Amino acid sequence: MRSRILNSGVSTPYKRLSRIFHPFVWTCASCKAHSTASRAFSSQHPSSIKPYYVTTPIFYVNAPPHVGHLYTMVLADILKRWQLLQGKKAILCTGTDEHGLKIQQASAKAGVDPKPFCDKGAEVFKELARKAGIANDHFVRTTDREHRDAVEYAWFLLQEGGYIYTSKHEGWYSVSDETFYPQSAVHLILDPPTGRKIMVSMETGKEVEWTSETNYHFKLSAFQDRLLKFYEQHPGWIVPKHRMREVVKAVRSGLSDLSISRPSGRLTWGIRVPGDESQTIYVWLDALMNYITKAGYPWPPGQESAGGWPANCQVIGKDIIRFHGIYWPAFLMALDLPLPKHILTHAHWTLGKEKMAKSTGNGVNPFFALDRFGVDAIRFYLAHDGGIDQDADYSNYHIIERYRVALNGSLGNLVSRVTRFKGWSIRHAVETSATVIYSETLYNDPFALQHYELIKATASTAKKLADDLDVGGALKTIMNLISATNAYFAQSSPWHLAKYPAHSKRPRSELDKIIYLTSESLRVAGILLQPYMPTKAAHLLDMLGVDEAHRSLEFARPGRDTEYGVSKVDLGLGTKGTLFPPLTSDL
C-alpha cells in the first residue's frame, strides 16, 4: 500500500472512493457508522442564518495552563457575548491539541500512556473554561473520533486535488514548535543553563535538531500568488495591522512546500496517513482542522454554514500567526473552503518582563488567580490591561489597583451610593423624570445635557470598538461613562437636595433628574459590562431592578427602559448587597 501512495500520489482504493461516494458523505470504511451518527445534527437542524462563530486555538496538554491561555479564552468569550448581547446566535469553540511529538515525549516522561495523559490534560482545560465563566459551545479534542474522520477526509481531498506528494526532507526541526525551519531561520547560541552550543529558532528561541527523512509534502508554494491576492483584497484580515504586514512580507519573500507527515517510527502518537501506516499526519495540519471539525465538516449539501463556518473571528496568540495566517488559509484554499473573516492576534502576557511559557515554568496559575481575586475581577483585568499590539506584564499589584480604583472605588461605590441611600427613590425618579427628561428640564441644564449625550453615545461607541475586535477599547469606553457619572453625581450633590421636604417641587424635581441620569448611566453600563463580567453585571442590574428581558443591547440607551427601579436583591447593610466589597487584608 505504501509503495502505491509514494509512487502514484493517490492509492487505488481512494480513487475508487472518490468515484463511488459523494464527497459530502465520504467516510473511511472503519468510521462510516460512527461518522453518520456524529454528523446527524448538521442535517437535522438546518438554519438559514449563519451563527457568529469564534474560536480559540486548541491548547497543548503537555503542561498545565497559565494566565496567557486564560486571556485567549476570555477574549474569545467576550466577542461571543457581544453577539449574544445583540440578540444574535453565536458559537464559541475551544479545546485541546493532543497529538504530536511533544505530547508523546511528555506522556513518556510522566510514565503514562498518551491517551490517559491527554484525558487528564483536557479535563484541566475544561475546568479552566468552566471556572472562568467561558460560555463555550464546543470543546474539541484532536483525539475525538469525529475530528480524526474530518482530518482523514481532508487528507483524501488534498491528495485528490494533487496537492500532496512525497519527497525527502532535510531541515532543522523543533520538537517544541513541532515544525521545520530553514537554515535562514535558525542560529547558533550558547545555552546559559548548560553551557552547550545549540541551534535554535530565531523566531521562538526553541532548540532545533537536524533531521533528514522521507515524508509527504503539501504544495504550499503553489498558493503564494493566491494568498497575496487575498491579503490585498482583505487588508484588515489579520488584527492588528502590523501583524498583517508581517505575514504579507513573509509570503512575498517566497514559500517553500510544507512537510505534512512524520515517520511513524519517530512519531507514534497521532493520526496515521490514510492508507500508509508508516507515516503520521503533521500535528499542525491535524490541529488546524479542529476549527471546521466542530462546525460539522464535512458538510452535507446546503448545510455548509449551519455550524458557523467560516469563522467570524479566530483568536490566537502572536506566536502562532504563521500557522494561521499562511498555512491555514492555504489548506482551506486547497480544500475549496471559505477562509475565516478575521484573525485576532494578541500579544503575550509576561511575568517579570519575560514571556509566560509552560516549558520554562515562568507563568501564573490561572486557577489561583481566579480563586484569589474572583472570576469577574480577573476577566476585567485581562480585558482592560491585556496587550493586543504590545506585551503586557502581569502583576498582582496592578490587579489590586484595578479592583480598588475602578471596581470597588468607582463602579461599586457609585452603585452603593445611588441604590442604598434612603433620601431618594430610583423608582420614583424613573417614573417622574423618564417622560420629561427630554424637555426644557434637561436642556436648561448644560451639565446634565452633556451627561445625557454621553450616556446616549456610549453603547454605539463601545459596539463599534467591539465589532472592530477592540474589546479592551470598548471596556475603557464603558468605564469612562462610570468615571464621568461619578463626576456628575459628585458635582450635582443630590444628598443636599434630598434634605428638602417632599412638597418642595423644584428641589425634588432636580433631585429626581440627577438620580435618573445617574441610574440610567449605571443601567446602560451594566448592560454593556455583561460580556466582560457576567456575574457582577447581572448583580448590578438586579440591584437596579432591571428586568431580565430588558438587558440586551437595544435597551442600552437612555429612556429605553422605564420599568426598573425596585431592587431585586436585599441591599442590606455593610458589605451585604454591595457589588464589589473591599478586598480583604490578606490580598
Please name which of 482, 559, 565, 563 lies closest in space to residue 528, comparing C-alpha atoms: 482
pLDDT at site 44? 39
Residue 252 is placed in which grid cell? 512575498
Chain-centre distance for alpha carbon 570: 35
**Rounded CA separation 35/38 (Å):** 5
Task: List b or e across 477-489, with b for residues whose CB sees 16 or more CB atoms inside 10 angstroms.
Answer: bbbebbebbbebb
Q: Which residue ranges make up each domain of the chain?
A: 2-373, 395-555
pLDDT at site 360? 66
**Rounded CA separation 549/375 (Å):** 24
Burial of 46 (0-12, 13-18, 19+ CB in 10 A): exposed
pLDDT at site 434? 76
pTM of model > 0.85: yes
**Rounded CA separation 38/219 (Å):** 31
Q: Identify residue 76 by its one-letter amino acid code.
A: A
Task: List b or e across 374-407, with b for residues whose CB sees 16 or more CB atoms inside 10 angstroms.
Answer: bbbbbbbbbbbbbbbeebbebeeeebbebbeebb
CB atoms within 10 A of CB 108: 13
Question: Phi/psi at 239 (nearest 5 deg)?
Answer: -115, 135
59, 77, 130, 290, 370 from 125: Cα distances, Å:
8, 15, 9, 16, 14
- The answer to whether the bond into 240 is cis (omega within 30° of 0) is yes
Residue 53 is placed in which grid cell? 462563530
pLDDT in tens, 453-473: 999 999 999 999 999 999 999
Question: Phi/psi at 13 (nearest 5 deg)?
Answer: -55, -40
Handedness of CA 369, 374, 537, 397 (dihedral sign): negative
For the domain spanning 2-373, the CATH number is 3.40.50.620
- Contact status, residue 216 vs residue 159, Cβ threshold 8 Å: no
Low-confidence residues of the chain: pLDDT under 50: 1-46, 586
CA atoms within 13 A on the CB side of 554: 7
Please name which of 370, 308, 310 lies closest in space to residue 138, comparing C-alpha atoms: 308
CATH 1.10.730.10 describes domain 395-555: yes
Contacts of 31 (CB under 8 A, 6+ apart): 145, 148, 149, 152
Please name which of 266, 262, 258, 264 lies closest in space to residue 282, comparing C-alpha atoms: 262
CB atoms within 10 A of CB 352: 9
Chain-centre distance for alpha carbon 364: 19
Handedness of CA 553, 556, 559, 563 (dihedral sign): positive
40, 193, 433, 528 from 203: Cα distances, Å:
43, 20, 61, 39
CB atoms within 10 A of CB 135: 15
- Kindly calculate the radius of gyration of the chain based on its CA atoms and give it in whole angstroms: 28
Length of the chain: 587
Burial of 502 (0-12, 13-18, 19+ CB in 10 A): exposed
* DSSP characters over 266-293: T--SSPEETTEEEEEE-HHHHHHTHHHH
Task: List b or e across 184-206, with b for residues whose CB sees 16 or more CB atoms inside 10 angstroms.
Answer: ebbeeeeeeeeeeeebbbeebeb
* DSSP characters over 377-428: HHHHHHHHH--SSS-EE--HHHHHHIIIIIIIIIIIHHHHHHHH-TT--HHH
Domains 2-373 and 395-555 in one fold: no
pLDDT at site 506? 65
DSSP bridge pairs for 27: none
Please name which of 178, 165, 358, 207 lies closest in space to residue 270, comparing C-alpha atoms: 178
Helix (H) or strand (E) holding 572: none
Q: Identify residue 541 by its one-letter amino acid code.
A: L
Helix (H, G, I), strand (E, B) or coil at 349: strand
**Rounded CA separation 194/544 (Å):** 61
Residue 167 is placed in which grid cell? 519527497
**Rounded CA separation 351/363 (Å):** 7
